């Protein structure tokens, strides 16, 4: 065999070898790409555009949250129930969690695994649906938990099952877990506070004061058959009313400003409220009516600013139901009378 033939044959062999290496590298790269984890978000949606959040629990229990011009609202259970204000901060936090869920390596893809991890179309623990203008934009099935704050999840229509950083308690179907607990709190600073038919306070240049007629009533002593000087004493008491306790007043105003509810009440109790308060804030005046039912563990409160009735812890309500005397400073003790007897020898 001539040297030219050997060179040509060697060249062809090298070309064939190079082609084989290239094919192997290409196939290896495709295989690695198919098995590589996705680095983007598992769900693709615009958090700012979402105006509907539906959470379903296996067994037909579901909860729906909707956003309109007034903000996020709990979808009423019936046409006669009011649409209660929902916790917008919690909803936004939940949407951010869903948007931030990354897609790691799938842990399984088989039909039996979907049943085992409870993320099958007909067997799941939770289903979360996101909507924009009534149209679904993303869904996620939540299944078993392999560890703390870890869940098996699957997108409907996708065989891949992932293990991600989520928890079931972030997707409760209990309406009280989503209600705005600050719904009865003042909007901005409290500028005026009144317990109807009891007392009225106003804020002037940063200092609270009771209405003059209320203070005069508080300072007027009971009528008696004592000497005529009692009339003069009464007049003096009315002209110099007792001072309010600044600490007590500040605490009371703060409690109304930060009032929190436990959840929605099923109905407003019958009868007249135990107390009615008028709270003036940046939005105007809100009337809060407090109802106490004998033996009930909580107090029911209604507002003329928000529909529905709400449950407030009894110990919280008791701190708000302050009478006029509870706003006044304790009177100074009278000086001790001088000893009538003369000095002893």
**Alpha carbon distance 258, 189 (integer Å):** 10
146 and 265, same domain (yes or no): no
Q: Give the count of domains, the chain.
A: 2
97-108 mean pLDDT: 91
pLDDT score of 221 more than 50: no
Which helix (H) or strand (E) segment holds residue 136: the answer is strand 135-142
296-325 mean pLDDT: 95
Write down which residue in 111, 146, 177 finishes a domain. Answer: 177
140 and 244, same domain (yes or no): no
Look at residue 235 and tell me if it is in a domain: yes
Look at residue 185 and tell me if it is in a domain: no
Quote the pLDDT of residue 215: 41
CB atoms within 10 A of CB 64: 18
Do 301 and 261 form a contact (C-beta atoms < 8 A)? yes
Q: Which of 85, 309, 275, 258 is nearest to 195 (CA)?
A: 275
Residue 210, helix vs strand vs coil: strand
**Alpha carbon distance 253, 328 (integer Å):** 14
69 and 118, same domain (yes or no): yes
211 and 166, same domain (yes or no): no
318 and 198, same domain (yes or no): yes
Q: What is the pLDDT of residues 249-290, one digit of tens each?
A: 999 999 999 999 999 998 899 999 999 999 999 999 999 999
199 and 239, same domain (yes or no): yes
**Alpha carbon distance 139, 42 (integer Å):** 10
The boundaries of the domain holding residue 285 are 192-221+228-327
pLDDT score of 338 more than 70: no
Look at residue 19 and tell me if it is in a domain: no
Q: What is the pLDDT of residues 123-140, one digit of tens each?
A: 999 999 999 999 999 999
Look at residue 136 and tell me if it is in a domain: yes
201 and 298, same domain (yes or no): yes
Look at residue 91 and tell me if it is in a domain: yes
311-315 mean pLDDT: 96
**Stated pTM of the model:** 0.74
- The more confident residue out of 173 and 22 is 173
**Alpha carbon distance 129, 131 (integer Å):** 7
Helices 229-239 and 212-219 cross at an angle (nearest 10°) of 150
- The more confident residue out of 245 and 77 is 245
Q: What is the pLDDT of residues 182-214, one digit of tens each?
A: 999 999 999 999 999 999 999 998 899 998 654
197 and 126, same domain (yes or no): no
Look at residue 211 and tell me if it is in a domain: yes
Look at residue 320 and tell me if it is in a domain: yes
């Amino acid at each position: 065999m001539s040297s030219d033939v050997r060179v040509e044959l060697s060249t062809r062999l090298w070309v064939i070898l190079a082609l084989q290496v290239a094919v192997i590298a290409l196939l290896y790269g495709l295989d690695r790409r198919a098995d590589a984890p996705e680095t983007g978000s598992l769900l693709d949606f615009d958090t700012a555009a979402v105006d509907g959040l539906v959470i379903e629990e296996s067994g037909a229990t579901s909860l729906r949250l909707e956003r309109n011009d007034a903000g996020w609202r709990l979808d009423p259970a019936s046409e006669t129930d009011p649409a209660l204000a929902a916790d917008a901060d919690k909803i936004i936090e939940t949407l951010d969690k869903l948007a931030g869920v990354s897609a790691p390596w799938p842990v399984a893809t088989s039909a039996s695994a979907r049943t085992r991890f409870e993320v099958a179309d007909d067997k799941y623990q939770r289903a979360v649906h996101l909507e924009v203008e009534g149209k679904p934009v993303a869904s996620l099935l939540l299944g078993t938990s392999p560890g703390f704050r870890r869940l098996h999840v699957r997108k409907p229509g996708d065989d891949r099952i992932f293990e991600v950083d989520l928890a079931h308690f972030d997707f409760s179907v209990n309406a009280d877990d989503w209600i705005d607990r600050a719904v009865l709190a003042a909007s901005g600073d409290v500028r005026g506070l009144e317990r109807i038919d009891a007392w009225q306070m106003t804020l002037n240049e940063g200092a609270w004061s009771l209405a003059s007629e209320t203070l005069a009533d508080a300072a007027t002593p009971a009528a008696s058959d004592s000497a005529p000087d009692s009339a003069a004493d009464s007049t003096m008491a009315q002209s110099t009313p007792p001072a309010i306790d600044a600490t007590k007043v500040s605490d009371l105003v703060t409690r109304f400003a930060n009032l929190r509810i436990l959840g929605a009440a099923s109905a407003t109790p019958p009868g007249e409220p135990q107390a009615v308060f008028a709270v003036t804030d940046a939005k105007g005046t809100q009337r809060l009516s407090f109802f106490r039912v004998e033996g009930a563990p909580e107090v029911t409160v209604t507002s003329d600013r928000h529909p529905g009735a709400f449950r407030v812890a009894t110990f919280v309500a008791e701190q708000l139901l302050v009478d006029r005397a509870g706003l006044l400073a304790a009177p100074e003790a009278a000086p001790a009378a001088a000893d009538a007897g003369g000095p002893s020898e």
